[in-house]
Chains A and B, each alone.
Chain A
Amino acid sequence: MPANGAPTKITQGSQTKGGIGESTLRPDGTLKVTGEFAYSSDMWHEDMLWGQILRSTVAHAEIVSIDTSEALATAGVYAVMTYDDLPAEVKHYGLEIQDTPVLAHGKVRHHGEPVALVAADHPETARRAAAKIKVEYRELPVITDEASATAPGAVLVHENRTDHHAGHVPHPNIVHRQPIIRGNAAEAAERADFVVTGDYYFGMQDQAFLGPESGLAVPEEDGGVHLYIATQWLHSDLRQIAPVLGLPEDKVRMTLAGVGGAFGGREDLSMQIHACLLALRTGKPVKIVYNRFESFFGHVHRHPARLHYEHGATKDGKLTHVKCRIVLDGGAYASASPAVVGNASSLSIGPYEVDDVEIEAIALYSNNPPCGAMRGFGAVQACFAYEAQMDKLADAVGMDRVEFRQLNAMSQGTIMPTGQPVDSPAPVAELLRRVKAMPMPPERQWESSEGPDVRQLPGGLSNTTHGEGVVRGVGYAVGIKNVGFSEGFDDYSTAKVRMEVVGGEPVATVHTAMAEVGQGGVTVHAQIARTELGVAQVTIHPADTQVGSAGSTSASRQTYVTGGAVKNACELVRERVLEIGRRKFGTYHPAWATAELLLEGGKVVTDGGEVLADLVDVLEGEAVEVEEEWRHRPTEPFDLRTGQGNGHVQYSFAAHRAVVEVDTELGLVKVVELACAQDVGKALNPLSVIGQIQGGTTQGLGIAVMEEIIVDPQTAKVRNPSFTDYLLPTILDTPTIPVDVLELADEHAPYGLRGIGEAPTLSSTPAVLAAIRNATGLELPRTPVRPEHLTGKA
């Protein structure tokens, strides 16, 4: 309470509506519900052509010959291009390692690799012409796992590697290896009264964003090209596209088209370069839209992983040590594999206190589909395994599984296996307490006065049970995810903020290159500008490369980093506006010089609430604009031998409780409820925060019980590239997802917020698996679980 009846001090933005902390609605909502929002596949241009990519039909082969003559002779075809037609010296690209050919050169390394391009006046003409290109392959042996990758005399997926990991990996078919050694796991193991080991397998998951890879490349009069594209990071695309086109970056203009989801699958390039090449070759606008079949070949997937763990504990339940080895299959090209290795290793023991650890993570080069970024990024696979281990160990010790986790839970001050202290709240035990305290869904919910409602039973409308053989199980899990790009990466963002009077009202315009992929960044940017500038009207400028890089919409980082950049630019604008005000009006009122000044409700006010001027008068005849880069705290690389280093910016935590019902006779699973508790630091938009948590939870459910790309182990060919055979959770498969949001501020982050997008994807999967194990008593060391794993008929 303020003393002596002094007026309550107000803080910047607290009096302005639509600011941070409110569930304001999306600025693009109306366009999205009326069908007018222009996604990348909706782009259209007078006189445009359609591009088509011919992809390899085999996984690993030398290309003996390519005959394009029949395709070129097809009516309606404007261009056919192969490797030989590439215009520049640079013919490869890649996020970290430039190992990916724009078009195959002499060799293909995975099923579905781009070999040739066609542009034609109708998409079907382009498809048929592509089918007329004759490619002769001489097949090579396929590398499909660690054994074949490192066998004596193994074929090298990439010969003559010169990348920065080549020097330290134990074999050229290993992209990157990160060990982490802290304490002495062997000695600590001697103190263990109980030791449990396990071997786990995590299947290959697809991001399955609904908006297919697509875009429109328009050639420009200056010899450049303008690309309208769905991506996660415009400037990263630009950096990779321009060199292979042989153009300087300022001749490749990029505008973000509407993005139909991403989840990591748009970090790598897909059709960007191909569309630009065809547009520059033909001099006409070229549109490329993958269909779903092609989309399964056109982007990287989540790394499948084999994980070996050993955990020990004393008889009073304290963890003694953890040893683990994680083998991620990176497929034919590096993509984000090195960073995924860094995450998998550094987060491999989960949100627990253990001083003695011995960790190794590697990613393979193989002839399987390339794998890279997907929501959770290496932390997902580890969480599945360490949480299964924690259940096993709790059972061995004879403790309650949740209490055992709480006893070993990390907290603020804990030292990570990398030696990095956790210097903000880490409420792991509290999240477990909260999720356990949530009310349980009633038993036998399917019963009604009119008989069983089969829609709520395993098997659903297939009407396979009326409750016979149905057993309920409950499982818990908790996870830890890093926020932001790690390991010393310069992870900055840029925001340009302009304030001026438009139509008699003060208006702020926020311009960033942030890719809005559905997460709601555009909503949050407007909220931040309202809070920091005290205005009602905020315009979000379309994202493009006319402003500095925003970094990637990845790693749960955009609200933190680009949100931080917007906040910072707004603060600088506010200072400039107040300077103008002092100059214009300072002589009329002493408070201009002496009081703390705020912008509220379109006015300059003192922190006591006294109005000094209208912003309209301050800004009359003047516009204020600031473009500024913003950085979070720097991070360090992990030491290549010991894994030590302050590698991460921030950590994010979520816990889940899964309730499942299993038809034990048919092996069918119904997830009844998937409750989540998550610490978000500060919910800038509570509605969006809950939407992110529920969406992430559901992707975790998918890889628990249905989603998996099946790759033939003999041929390395993808067997289920369709939504008919790759199963996504429908609204019938998805349970209610009650969410408990905790807000413990991280003092290092803007507004104390914590990146939230990924953490719920981690613990969802192991919670569901734990619940199925609880219902069936089976070990279930692999995910996803299929009916044959539950009926013993596998």
Chain B
Amino acid sequence: MRVNFTVNGRPQEADDVWEGESLLYVLRERLGLPGSKNACEQGECGSCTVRLDGVPVCACLVAAGQAEGREVVTVEGLAEYARQRACGTDACGTKSASLDEAGRRQAQGTDSQTGEGTELSPVQQAFIDAGAVQCGFCTPGLLVAADEMLERNPNPTDADIREALSGNLCRCTGYEKIMDAVRLAAARQSEGV
């Protein structure tokens, strides 16, 4: 089947989709957007969290066909999504998200030196600054979930943060630096930094 939906503000069309494919599979394997992760494919770990019409969902539990005609935001589009939210949809010039770059992904070793100068959302920057990224496999899902929480609740208590992120497993950090990162993002947001 063919599926049409919007990803990170850009219309996408996926052809020859088998009906059993998940939204996660189509994003990762057909649209060249592997940022959403595949840690469990059981809806338990949150590593594949994306926004579907604004609502955070596990992309592994959404059938690709369910996304027909809807808007999806993934970690690859998070910086642009946050930028547009911060300055209102029309006030800022549009900057193209790095979809094309991501789409050209080929097998290659990890190059630890690229990515400098990339525009980041406040929560992405806070994760780096607070040391909330270790192996980083949980990071995309946590970022989407944390960004959505800060959109709803700009001044969360610790208990609010824990509740909002309880669907996202992390095996490396013990969550302390993730708490620090979300607190930092909230503080910077309220200071308008």
Contacts and interface: CB of A to CB of B under 8 A. Distances in A.
B165 A731 contact: yes
Nearest to B76: A35
Nearest to B34: A42
Interface string A104-145: 000000000000000000101000000000000000000000
Given A30-B128, A518-B134, A736 B139 contact: no
B169 A688 contact: no
B129 interface: yes
Given A29-B133, A210-B171, A461-B163, A35 B33 contact: yes
Contacts of B107: 38, 43-45, 216, 218, 228, 257, 285
B174 A292 contact: no
A723 B45 contact: yes
Main secondary structure of the interface of B (DSSP, over half): loop
Contacts of A516: 110, 112
B105 interface: yes
Contact of A455 (B35, B36, B114, B159): B159
A737 B176 contact: yes
A698 B114 CA distance: 31
Contacts of B47: 210
B169 A36 contact: no
Contacts of A33: 75, 120, 124-125, 127-128, 133, 136, 139-140, 143
| Of B101, B140, B174, B176, most A-chain CB atoms within 10 Å | B174
Nearest to A41: B38
A774 interface: no
A210 B41 CA distance: 11
A343 interface: no
Contact of B136 (A32, A543, A696): A32
B186 to A, nearest CB: 15
Interface residues of B, number: 75
Interface in B25-45: 28-29, 32-42, 44-45
Nearest to A701: B174
A691 interface: yes
Contacts of B116: 30
A520 B109 contact: no
Interface size class, chain A: 35 or more
Contacts of B21: 124
Contacts of A207: 171
A610 interface: no
Interface stretch (A259-267, A401-409, A431-439, A647-655): A259-267
B137 A35 contact: no
Q: Which of A291, A453, A461, A730 has the most CB of B within 10 A?
A: A730
B171 A208 contact: yes
Interface in B49-108: 74-76, 78-79, 98, 101-102, 105-108
Given A29-B128, A691-B131, A731-B175, A210 B169 contact: yes
Given A33-B143, A228-B107, A730 B174 contact: no
Contact of A518 (B102, B136, B163): B136
A722 B42 contact: yes
A752 to B, nearest CB: 23
Contacts of B108: 38, 228, 255, 542
B118 A34 contact: yes
Interface string A18-51: 0000010111111111111111011111000000
B134 A520 contact: yes
B20 interface: yes
Interface in A278-323: 285, 289, 291-293
B166 interface: yes
A156 B60 CA distance: 43
Contacts of A28: 110, 112, 115, 136
A456 interface: yes
Interface in B114-152: 114-116, 118, 120, 124-125, 127-129, 131, 133-140, 143
A360 to B, nearest CB: 33
Interface string A527-555: 00000000000011011100000000000
B115 A36 contact: yes
A453 B111 CA distance: 45
Given A32-B133, A36-B101, A734 B39 contact: no
Contact of B178 (A29, A212, A461, A731): A731
B128 A34 contact: no
B14 interface: no
Most-contacted residue by chain A among B21, B42, B166, B176 (CB, 10 A): B176
A525 to B, nearest CB: 10
A26 B140 CA distance: 16
B105 A44 contact: yes
A429 interface: no
Contacts of B74: 35
Nearest to B132: A691
Nearest to A125: B18
B115 A292 contact: no
B175 to A, nearest CB: 4
Contacts of B101: 36
B153 interface: no
B81 to A, nearest CB: 12
**Which of A207, A697, A736 has most B Cβ within 10 Å?**
A736
A731 B46 CA distance: 12
Interface string B145-185: 00000000000000101110111111111111111000000
B41 A291 contact: yes
A691 B173 contact: yes
A34 B125 CA distance: 10
Contacts of B168: 730-731
B113 interface: yes
A565 interface: no
A122 B18 contact: yes
Contact of A728 (B76, B78, B169, B173): B169
A130 to B, nearest CB: 16
A25 B127 CA distance: 10
B105, B107, B109, B170, most chain A CB atoms within 10 A: B107
Contact of B76 (A34, A542, A694): A34
A677 B98 CA distance: 43
Given A292-B42, A690-B131, 19 more contacts: A28-B115, A30-B118, A30-B128, A31-B114, A33-B125, A33-B136, A33-B139, A36-B76, A36-B115, A209-B171, A210-B170, A216-B107, A228-B109, A258-B110, A261-B172, A542-B109, A691-B172, A695-B172, A734-B174
Interface of A: 23, 25-39, 41-45, 122, 124, 207-212, 216, 218, 228, 255-263, 285, 289, 291-293, 453, 455-456, 461, 516-520, 522, 539-540, 542-544, 687-688, 690-691, 694-699, 722-724, 728, 730-732, 734, 736-737
5 contacts: A31-B114, A34-B118, A211-B135, A291-B41, A542-B108
